[in-house]
Amino acid sequence: MTRALMWFRSDLRVRDNTALAAACRAASDGPQGGVVGLFVVSPGEWAEHDFAPVKVDLMLRTLRELSASLAELNIPLVLAEAKTRHDVPSLVLAAAKQHDCDTLHFNLEHELNERRRDERTIEVFEAAGLKAGAHHDQCLSTPGDVRTGEGRFFTVFTPFKKASFKRMYEQGVPEVVPVPRPQAKIDIASSPVPGVVPGFESSVDPALWPAGEAWAHKRLAKFCADAIVPYKARRDFPGVDGTSKLSPYLTIGAISHRQCIAAAIEANPKSRAPLDVGPEGITHWISEVLWREFYIHIMVGFPRVCMGRAFQPATEVIRWNDDDRAFEAWSEGRTGVPIVDAGMRQLARTGWMHNRVRMITAMFLTKNLFVDWRKGERWFMRHLVDGFLASNNGGWQWSASTGTDAAPYFRIFNPISQSQKFDEQGEYIREFVPELADVQGEAIHEPWTLPGLLKMKLDYPAEPIVDISKSRERAIEAFRDLKQG
């Protein structure tokens, strides 16, 4: 008889779950067989990796939904707690022995520490005479399978996307894995899922982020029905609900890349055509899913990005400003630049920030304030409901001109012109910077241009924390010196 242990991590779903399907296939029928689900509560590991409380809250609520879904398959979900990440492999082995499981199945995670943890887990299982099956599930293609003609990892997105499309044209789009059939009932009780883990108490309204796999699919279906076709035209405007907001659910694995691509293909009236043919909104959204994939591949091919290192080693010599006052003003949303402050306050209030504004705020910190991108990257991770190392690091290094596909050092977003273009009427600013709610016209983007008396009435900084034009030139000069050196 074979009883399988399914170790859940960032794959909190029963549909399209490669490892779960494999565990169910491997398990024997009968009371001595079946599948046991395991989730490790690991607050030390989460803190080390800067998990945001709002993200942990969504994970816990999704775990409760997952436990109910697994119960319908006669799979109990048991919980264990690890003090540190180094304790996890032995703890998983202990859970397998406790529940008489002779094989382990799990989906691989690709961050460096997680890869080392998974390798160690396989070692301890093999040393104990038990089997461990590691499965590729997080990406459309296994990291490392899509390479340049010279056999290297791609370092620019567009060629990576073309190669990924070519691979899918030739081999087919990866299929969605069906829900496993119910297992034989076994006499193991599911563990209660805690409402909160100490140290990760969230102040964000949980109603903003409904939990679970079913909700993620409902959100995906609604997006594909109502918003995917006009996606490209609407995606850059933070005052418009024009994005899918599926990133939190992709991050915890309540939904998969494969399911997103399948839904986009289904929504395409030219569904039998290549992935880059059809309405621009659909093809552009598929590209955005591929961006996430690209950064995972980068993380595997260049593990230094998991260690606080710049993707472009030459940029490590940049001497960033060690300005705690400026960083504090940025992080609290009181820089005096409305679009920047709106973004930072949206992050604090909701645990999420519109992607266009993420770029604006990141460039303002790294180019105008010239503060080390790593400080901003860490702040985002500690507050984002969709905090995901690969995407967050990739976005920050792009903005700081230290990463892959990095914006040329001389291309620096002007936060004022960005605000005027993408929040023309100031709806987004007024929502998150209520001090400016009564400011009319163009002044919503530049309140320091108001006449003296009107400006004095505002409970808002009288001037931006930095001269935008001069600070831009200073950043350009620093990067120019680096290039010339």
Q: Which residues are catalytic?
A: 288, 291, 320, 355, 373, 396
How does strand 35-41 pair with strand 4-8? parallel
d(C-alpha 420, C-alpha 424), whole Å: 5
φ, ψ for residue 439 (rounded to 5)?
-75, 130
Tell how many helices (H) and how many strands (E) occur in the chain. Answer: 20, 5
- Tokens 């209520």, located at residue: 434
Two tokens at 198? Answer: 């100490």
Residue 145: name the closest of 110, 119, 114, 120 by CA.
Answer: 110
Q: How far, in Å, are 228, 255, 295, 418 from residue 281 at the CA level?
A: 6, 20, 22, 22
Amino acid at 423: D
**SS3 label, residue 365:** helix
- Name the CA radius of gyration of the chain, rounded: 24
The residue ranges of DSSP E strands in 35-93, in sequence order, are 35-41, 77-81
Task: Give a three-class secondary structure readout of 274-323.
Answer: CCCCCCHHHHHHHHHHHHHHHHHHHHHHCHHHHHCCCCCHHHHHCCCECC
Please, what is the angle between helix 373-381 and helix 389-400, to 10°?
150
Residue 479: name the closest of 312, 316, 311, 318 by CA.
Answer: 318
Q: How far, in Å, are 74, 254, 398 from residue 8 at the CA level?
A: 16, 11, 31
The sign of the torsion formed by the CA atoms of 318, 331, 244, 255 equals positive
d(C-alpha 420, C-alpha 203), whole Å: 31
